[in-house]
Amino acid sequence: QDIAAFLKKRAFLEESYGRDMIKIAQQTAEAFDKSHPKSGTFGDVWISILKVHETIGNQRIRFATSITESAEDLLSLSKHIEKDRKKIKDTGMHYEKQVQEADIQLEKSKQKFEATNEEWGKAVSQRNQEPTNPGKKNLFRSSRTAAQVNIEHKCLDRNESDCRSKMDAADTQYKLQQKKTIQAHTEYYETHLPKVLSELKAVDDECSIALRYQLASYAYTFEQALTEDGLALDNDQGNNNIRVIGKGLRSLISKIDKDADWVEFVRLCAERSGRVQKSEYLTQDYMTSVSSSYTNPRVFGVSLEKLAESAPDMVPDILKRCATVVEEYALNSVGIYRLSGTSSKIQRIKMKFESGDPNPISEEDLSDINNITGVLKLWFRELPNPLFPRQSYQQFLDAAKLPDDRARLIALHTAINELSDAHYATLKYLMCHLYKVQSYQRFNKMGAANLATIFGLTLMSSDSGSQTQIAESQLQAKVVQSILENYKEIFEDEE
């Protein structure tokens, strides 16, 4: 119990440490992004360093969970051992009490035998008693007749005989009790006591083995936690948990390019002070994007039917790329899809998709996964016809209003089956992705309800007024949540 209490306190400290680490890392990153939207390589590295600390915080929370499980196992073991120990103790005391009762009965039998023996001795002495002063007796006592003397002798003989019978019975009972007591002692010391001690040792061995196992498990978990922290701090090769934040701290620091940051700073200053107006820059960017659209297919603002023409499975490439990155690197990231990325970096990734860049998501972009999710949400918002088409909008809302869960599921299933092939394929792929995300809600804190709140407004839109939109936002979230919670029933497994 003392070990379990220590582990519980240790788990509380580790969990508090992990949550505080995540909180301060996220708050610092958000404040830095707002204050320094264009900070060059130094800013990217600093954000990645904060992500390292966030990862360490998540690792500490997992470590705390493991410690708590060990503590709970030890408490359960303690209750089990205490129950068995008490049972064995009660059994041993029962056998010991039997021996004590036998000793008490033997002592009583002995006392009774001694008492009857003393009475018999007195009776014999009284019967055999002779006159101590016969001359004096003849002078003062009247002479008795022979008949009277004979009667007295018979009474004394009868009394002596009764006392002897009582003594014989007490002697027999005493000898019988002696045998019972000897038998009780023999059974106790040769059978019951060894059995009790053997059972007690078995319980002690079980406790010792289980305790050693739990301590070994704690030691292994502790070593693993320290190793993960070490890999987060210095991991030149990286692993699935660290690549999302750009490997170890030393590798990240080496990516700071002071000269490149200086050149970028000078360029930005020149743009701010140059003669070219902002409108001219926008016009030039617009013309560049328009001209590139003739040679490279555009992504944002293009209908799903148009994008499906270049995809064999009718799922847009941007959705597959962004979802793959999230599933590979960020399923454990707290607040995934809820936290916003940096606007400038989101626009930069968007332009790479628009320009047909073969690698629109670079390793540098992985330093903040919220930028990737921000690009995906932006793409959905800019669809000319939302993922849930406007012509089917009311049908989905009517289905969400149904109070019966089964009826609502059937109505949603019917509405989904009536979607076009492009919308159906995209919706199925997205819901499969979000289903994986919510399956990690223990770590990322993003369950079906949270994801539905975010994607309800993103995937559905109407032409109604603002007041109606506010009222319908709950129904929109209900649509997404119901589909997400019943993903396996709505979408048949085609693999």
pLDDT digits (tens, 9 = 90+) for 93-148: 988 898 889 899 889 888 888 888 888 888 888 777 744 344 444 444 555 677 76
- The CATH 1.10.555.10 portion of the chain extends over 275-490
CA-based max dimension of the chain: 167
Q: Output the CA torsion sign for 302, 335, 247, 28.
A: positive
What is the distance between the alpha carbons of residues 484 and 427, in angstroms, rounded to a whole number? Answer: 11
- From first CA to last CA, the distance across the chain in angstroms is 51
Better pLDDT: 214 or 140 = 214
pLDDT digits (tens, 9 = 90+) for 143-181: 567 776 677 777 877 888 888 888 888 888 888 988 988
Q: Are 399 and 483 in contact (CB under 8 A)?
A: no
pLDDT digits (tens, 9 = 90+) for 449-471: 999 999 988 898 766 544 566 66
Q: Which of 69-78, 84-93, 271-280, 475-484 has the highest mean pLDDT?
A: 475-484
- The CATH 1.20.1270.60 portion of the chain extends over 2-129+146-244
Q: Are 241 and 58 in contact (CB under 8 A)?
A: no
Task: Return the pLDDT at 290.
Answer: 41
- pLDDT-above-90 percentage for the chain: 27
Q: Which of 286-295, 302-311, 356-365 has the highest mean pLDDT?
A: 302-311
Instruction: Please enumerate in sequence order all residues whose Cβ is within 8 A of that of 257, keeping only pairs 6 or more positions apart, or say none.
Output: 40, 41
Task: Return the pLDDT at 284.
Answer: 45
Q: What is the mean pLDDT of residues 327-355?
A: 90
Q: Which tokens is 288 given?
A: 């560049």
Task: Return the pLDDT at 452.
Answer: 92
Task: Return the pLDDT at 288.
Answer: 47
Task: Return the pLDDT at 241.
Answer: 41
Q: Given a cut of 90, is residue 375 above it in pLDDT?
A: yes
* Burial class of residue 236 in the structure, from the number of CB atoms within 10 Å of its CB (0-12 exposed, 13-18 middle, 19+ buried): exposed
Least confident of 26-40, 103-117, 269-283, 382-396: 269-283
Q: Are 59 and 225 in contact (CB under 8 A)?
A: yes
Q: Are 469 and 448 in contact (CB under 8 A)?
A: no
Q: Given a cut of 50, is residue 208 above it in pLDDT?
A: yes
Residue 68: name the closest of 24, 23, 134, 5 by CA: 5
Task: Return the pLDDT at 230.
Answer: 79
Q: What is the mean pLDDT of residues 243-250?
A: 52
Task: Return the pLDDT at 471.
Answer: 66
CATH homologous superfamily of 275-490: Rho GTPase activation protein (1.10.555.10)
Task: Return the pLDDT at 243.
Answer: 37
Q: What angle do CA 238, 243, 246 make, to 5 degrees?
A: 100
What is the distance between the alpha carbons of residues 117 and 164, in angstroms, rounded to a whole number? Answer: 8
Q: Given a cut of 50, is residue 257 above it in pLDDT?
A: yes
Task: Return the pLDDT at 132.
Answer: 37
Q: What is the mean pLDDT of residues 395-418?
A: 93
What is the distance between the alpha carbons of residues 59 and 66, in angstroms, rounded to a whole number? Answer: 11
User: What is the overall mean pLDDT for the chain?
Assistant: 81
- Is pTM beyond 0.75 here? no
Q: Output the CA torsion sign for 274, 276, 277, 283.
A: negative
Instruction: Please enumerate in sequence order all residues whose Cβ is within 8 A of that of 387, keeping only pairs 6 or more positions apart, or say none.
Output: 304, 380, 423, 426, 427, 430, 459, 460
Task: Return the pLDDT at 130.
Answer: 46
Least confident of 16-20, 119-123, 136-140, 265-269: 136-140
Q: Given a cut of 80, is residue 378 above it in pLDDT?
A: yes
What is the distance between the alpha carbons of residues 386 and 146, in angstroms, rounded to a whole number? Answer: 141
Q: Are 451 and 484 in contact (CB under 8 A)?
A: yes
Task: Return the pLDDT at 483.
Answer: 95
Looking at 1.10.150.20, 1.20.1270.60, 3.40.30.10, 1.10.260.40, the CATH number of the domain 2-129+146-244 comes to 1.20.1270.60
Least confident of 112-121, 291-300, 479-488: 291-300
Distances (CA, A) of 384 to 160, 307, 379, 381, 461: 128, 12, 10, 8, 11
Q: What is the mean pLDDT of residues 208-216?
A: 84
Q: Which tokens is 436 given?
A: 């994986």
Q: Are 19 and 61 in contact (CB under 8 A)?
A: yes
pLDDT digits (tens, 9 = 90+) for 40-94: 778 777 888 888 888 888 888 888 888 888 888 888 888 888 888 888 888 889 8
Residue 314: name the closest of 306, 323, 325 by CA: 306
- pLDDT-above-70 percentage for the chain: 82
